[in-house]
Amino acid sequence: MTGRRVGALLVAAVLVIALGLWVSSRKIEDAQSGAGSPVITGLKAQVNDVTEVRISRGDGSKATLRKEPNNWVVVEREYPADSGKVRKLLLDLSDLSVVETKTSDPEKYSQLGVEDVTTPTAAGTRVELVTPEKVHGVILGRVSGMKSAYARATDAKQSVLATPYIMVDADPQRWLDASLVDIPDSRIREVEIAPASGPSYKVSRENKDQADFTVTGIPKGRELSSPSVANAVSRELAGFTLTDVRKPAEPASGKPTATFRTFDGLEVQLQGREDGDRRYIAVTAKSTATETAEEATKLSTRTQGWEFEIPNYKYDGIFKPLEELLKSRDAK
């Protein structure tokens, strides 16, 4: 064996030993720092047993999510929660793991946003997960980088840098099941609209192949601004979502209303109400055909007794006055 070959083997051996020592030291450092360990001890084994999630911030905002037999409910609204969103939060929290340890000095918690959320200036969000065995708690603090943030288990002094970064909203309306109605425009046969002001009118078509909706109720001497101007009305119930809900003090009555009728016998009526700068609708449904009877019943059951807040632009689009579909009186 040549001297050069022996030298190469010695260098390789030294590198292997050095690498082994480095890996060993990293393991010791990780063990000492807790890297990779869960921030919320024991949650992963109990994640399916969580019955309530309590989210709060120092500014007084809070959201409570409670598990019912068939779904999750936003307690502050007494309305169904987005169960998929709740499930994702639980899984993310059960996977929340330590990147490295940080301060255990309460005087320095505020620098990381992991102080108790008992004052308006507290930067973090407290999340409590209730199980039959115990209540798990964590304060999620300031962001650090793209995938991590500071955190502290509520029963621990040690704060940590943790991953994944979890953004949790304490506003109850952010947890609502926002889906309301989803009826594609291809099903819509006609819509009768009684706006808050101005005459009532109807947009309709004879069959699904008719490209543009016909408008009934146009005053003599007036005409549509374009042949397709009324088509947008038929799309208002497609992917229709809410922003908030409430139980009204009294049922809505009078104008405005919009009644949508499908080719297969479903009828959905929206009744509007303006409350300051907010816009609400009540939803009722019925069916004139066997094939849509179950759909109407499900929709009525889910919406009865509620008013749904929707964006102002959406409200204005649904209850659009006839005048907005017509050519200007001055147009030639």
Residue 253 confidence (pLDDT): 75
Same domain, 209 and 320: yes
Quick one: 245 and 151 in the same domain? no
* Whether 156 and 279 share a structural domain: no
The pLDDT assigned to 254 comes to: 78
Residue 184 shares a structural domain with residue 281: yes
What is the pTM for the complete model shown? 0.84
Q: Are residues 86 and 160 in the same domain?
A: yes
> Are residues 216 and 147 located together in one domain of the fold?
no
The number of folded domains in the chain is 2
Domain-located, residue 151: yes
State pLDDT tens for residues 234-268: 999 999 999 999 999 887 777 899 999 999 999 99
Residues of the chain scoring pLDDT < 50: 6, 14, 16, 18, 21-33
Q: How far apart are CA 90 and CA 74, in angstroms?
A: 15
Q: Rounded to an integer, what distance in angstroms lies between the CA atom of residue 215 and that of residue 213?
A: 6
Q: Are residues 102 and 151 in the same domain?
A: yes
Q: Which tens digit of pLDDT belongs to each residue from 97-122?
A: 999 999 999 999 999 999 999 999 99
Residue 184 lies inside a defined structural domain of this protein = yes
The pLDDT value recorded for residue 17 is: 53
| Residue 35: per-residue pLDDT | 87
DSSP assignment string, 64-116: EEEE-SSSEEETTTTEEB-HHHHHHHHHHHHH-EEEEE----GGGHHHHT-S-
Residues 110 and 222 in one domain: no
On whether residue 166 sits in a domain, the answer given is yes
Name the residue range of residue 159's domain.
Answer: 43-172
Same-domain check for residues 154 and 222? no
Structural domain contains residue 200 = yes
Of the candidates 146, 172, 198, which is a domain's last residue? 172
